[in-house]
Amino acid sequence: MKKDFLQIEGLSRARLLALLDAAQANLPIAEQLAPRKELLAGKVVANIFLEDSTRTRCSFETAVHRLGGQVFTLGASGSSASKGEGLLDTALNVEAMGVSAIVIRTAISGAPAMVARRVRIPVINAGDGRHEHPTQGLLDLVTLRESLGAIEGKRIGIVGDVASSRVAHSDLHGLTELGARVTLIGPPSLVGQGQCGIVKRSELVDISHDMDSIIGDLDAIMLLRIQNERGSSVGVSTDYRQLFGLTVDRAQRLKAGAVVLHPGPVNRGIEIDDAVADEHGGVRILRQVTHGVAARMAVLEDLLC
Ligand code: CP
C-alpha cells in the first residue's frame, strides 16, 4: 500500500506515468486557468523544512491551497528545532495535532523514511541530503514530456554536481525507468563511477567529462547547482564555467528543439550565462516551477484522496 512518497527509485513505470498524467491534468489549476479543487477541504498539511527553500516550500503551500486544504510551515528557526527538538519529535507532535500529511526537507539522507516508519500519516520527501528530491524529479519529467513528447529514447545530459545532487539522483531513476539515455557530465571530482552506482547498474547511463564533445547530441540538458553547502566546492576548478557552464557559445551548439532545465536556485554566470538563462528559446526553468505546483498536487491527491 502506498502511504508515503519518499523516492523515485523503485517506482514502477506505470505509477510514474500515472503521476505525470495527474500532474498534467492539474496544470490548468496550477496556471489558474481552472478553479481549484476541494479535495483537501478540512485537511491540514504540515511542511517541516529544516533546510532553506523557495520553490519547493512555496509550491507545496500553493498546491495544498489549490486542492482546497490548509497548510502551515515550520522552519529550523522559529520552531522548537532551534531549541534542540529533533525531526522525529517534531513530526510526532504535528501528527498529534491531527494534520493529514507531513512534508519534510532535511539535510539528513533517509530521515523522511525514518519518520514515515514512526507516524501513521503520509510523509512526503521534499529533499533529503544527497539522497533524493522526488517531487523535483516528477516536475522535471513533466517538463521534459511537455517539451519533447515521449521520454523513451531521448538523450538527456545531467551536468555538474551529480555526486551531491538529490535532484540528479531522482532524475536518473525517473529518466531510466521511462527509457531515456542519460549522460552524466562534469569534472571527475563531481561525476564518477564511484559516486553513482546506477552507472554500473544501467546500460542507459554513461559518464562524460567533456561537455563540448556531447552538447550537440542532447535532446535536453539538465544543469545542476554546485552544492557548496555539502562541500562540493572542494576539488572544483575555478574554470567550471569555462569547462561545464552553459555559455552563449555552447548554447548555440545545442541541437534545434533541445531544452534547458535547472532546478534552481541558479548560480548565474557559473552553471549558465545570464543571456542564455534570460533569452534562449529552449530554457524551461520557470516552466519547471509551474509544473512543480501541478506535480505536488498530483502527489498530495495520490496519497490523501
Ligand atoms: N529546486 C529546489 O529544490 O529549490 P528550493 O531549494 O528553492 O526548494
Residue 54 CB–ligand 1 contact under 6 Å:
yes
| pLDDT above 70 coverage of the chain, percent | 94
pLDDT 10s digits, 216-247: 999 999 999 887 776 666 556 668 899 999 99
The grid cell for 267 is 548560480
For the segment 149-156, the average pLDDT, to the nearest whole number, is 96
What is the C-alpha to C-alpha distance for residues 197 and 187, in angstroms, rounded to an integer?
A: 17
Average pLDDT, the chain: 94
Ligand 1 center to 199 CA (angstroms): 25
In a domain, 249, yes or no: yes
Q: Whose CA is nearest to atom 1 of ligand 1?
A: 263
Same domain, residue pair 115 and 211: no
What is the C-alpha to C-alpha distance for residues 272 and 239, in angstroms, rounded to an integer?
A: 13
Contacts of 205 (CB under 8 A, 6+ apart): 172, 176, 181, 182, 183, 184, 196, 198, 199
Owning domain of residue 45: 13-132+289-304
In a domain, 2, yes or no: no
Q: Quick check: 46 and 74 in contact, CB under 8 A?
A: yes
pLDDT at 198: 62
Residue with cell 501513521: 120
Ligand 1 center to 167 CA (angstroms): 9
Q: Quick check: 163 and 190 in contact, CB under 8 A?
A: yes
pLDDT 10s digits, 171-202: 999 999 999 999 999 998 888 755 556 666 67
For the segment 33-51, the average pLDDT, to the nearest whole number, is 97
Residue 263 CB–ligand 1 contact under 6 Å:
yes
The pairing of beta strand 259-261 with beta strand 220-223? parallel
The string of DSSP codes covering 13-64 is HHHHHHHHHHHHHHHHHHTTSSPPP-TTTT-EEEEEESS--SHHHHHHHHHH
Same domain, residue pair 85 and 168: no
- Burial degree of 281 (CB within 10 A; 0-12, 13-18, 19+): exposed
| CA of residue 273 relative to chain centroid, distance | 22
Residue 87 pLDDT level (bands cut at 50, 70, 90): very high
Same domain, residue pair 175 and 265: yes
Same domain, residue pair 104 and 163: no
Same domain, residue pair 85 and 143: no
When divided into structural domains, the chain yields a total of 2
Comparing CA positions, the residue from 64, 63, 85 lying closest to residue 75 is: 85
Helix residue spans in 184-284 (DSSP H): 197-201, 240-244, 248-252, 274-279
For the segment 142-168, the average pLDDT, to the nearest whole number, is 95
Residue 69 CB–ligand 1 contact under 6 Å:
no
| pLDDT above 90 coverage of the chain, percent | 87
CATH of the domain at 298: 3.40.50.1370
Residue 56 CB–ligand 1 contact under 6 Å:
yes
Query: Above 60 in pLDDT, residue 214?
Result: yes
Tell me the pTM: 0.96
Query: Above 60 in pLDDT, residue 79?
Result: yes
